[in-house]
């Protein structure tokens, strides 16, 4: 685990300094203070290094969101909004400093097996946690159980994801605007769900 973490830290630094495209596996190994063979024992490709960097940040984020799920606010609008806004903090994680095009790849497919697996993991975990939150509110009667929890979670996911993409493309300019849009949309959704 020590080698893996030192490689990830070295790669993050290198990707931030020179960009993902210009970084080489040899440069990552050198910066990590290990031999190239050791690097390849842990990571087969540069894309797998990138994928593990982002996975590390996602695991940290999902651990934080699990804390919210363990003690959600009583008001479902407040709980769902807080969850969605917490997901936006992925933009504050270490891997955001990577100079990479496109910058929103953790939310979209890239065509590379290693990074696409991380996208699938992120989508599945986000939906799992959203579904658990919706089920909690259905169980305590604050969201109607006339709707299936996975379907409600999918709608919330779609709304959140569309705003995340707009924010990354600069169509939503500030975090404050993003937060406002999420709050408004969750409010509209809940008018028919409660």
Whether 14 and 56 map to the same domain: the answer is no
Q: Say which DSSP state 101 is in.
A: S
Cα separation, 51 vs 27, in Å, equals: 18
Q: Are residues 64 and 142 in the same domain?
A: yes
62 and 93 fall within a common domain:
yes
State which residues form the domain around 7: 1-43
Q: Are residues 124 and 86 in the same domain?
A: yes
Which pLDDT band holds residue 45 (cuts at 50, 70, 90)? very high
Retrieve residue 7's tokens: 């490689």
Same domain, yes or no: 107 and 39: no
Position 98 confidence tier, pLDDT thresholds 50, 70, 90: low
Distances (CA, A) of 168 to 25, 126, 148, 158: 28, 18, 31, 15
CATH of the domain at 11: 1.10.10.60
Q: Number of C-alpha atoms within 13 angstroms, CB side, residue 74?
A: 0
Residue 164: give its domain's CATH number: 1.10.357.10
Task: Report the pLDDT value the prediction gives residue 155, as an integer from 0 to 100.
Answer: 92
Task: For residues 74 and 25, state if they share a domain.
Answer: no
Using CA atoms, how far residue 68 sits from 83, 118, 163, 167, in Å, is 7, 22, 21, 24
**Residue 177, pLDDT score:** 92
Q: Which region, left, alpha or beta, applies to residue 139 given φ > 0 means left and ψ of -120 to 50 means alpha?
A: alpha
Shared domain check, 91 and 132: yes
Question: 151 falls in which pLDDT band (50, 70, 90)?
Answer: very high
* Predicted structure pTM score: 0.82
Residues 81, 16: one domain? no
pLDDT at 191: 79
Q: Are residues 76 and 122 in the same domain?
A: yes
61 and 100 share a domain?
yes
Whether 165 and 181 share a structural domain: yes
């Amino acid at each position: 685990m020590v080698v893996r973490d030192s490689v990830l830290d070295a790669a993050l630094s290198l990707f931030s300094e020179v960009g993902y495209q210009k970084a080489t596996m040899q440069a990552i190994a050198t910066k990590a203070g290990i031999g190239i063979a050791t690097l390849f024992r842990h990571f087969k490709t540069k894309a797998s290094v990138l994928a593990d960097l982002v996975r590390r940040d996602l695991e940290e984020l999902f651990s934080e969101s699990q804390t919210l799920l363990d003690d959600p606010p009583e008001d479902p609008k407040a709980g769902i909004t807080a969850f969605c806004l917490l997901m936006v903090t992925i933009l504050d994680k270490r891997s955001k400093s990577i100079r990479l095009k496109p910058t929103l790849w953790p939310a979209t497919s890239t065509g590379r097996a290693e990074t696409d697996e991380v996208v699938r993991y992120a989508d599945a975990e986000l939906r799992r946690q959203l579904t658990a939150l919706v089920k909690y509110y259905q169980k305590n009667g604050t969201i109607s159980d006339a709707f299936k929890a996975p379907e409600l979670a999918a709608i919330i996911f779609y709304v959140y994801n569309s705003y995340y993409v707009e924010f990354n493309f600069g169509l939503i300019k500030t975090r404050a605007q993003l937060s406002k849009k999420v709050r408004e949309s969750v409010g509209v959704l809940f008018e028919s769900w409660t």
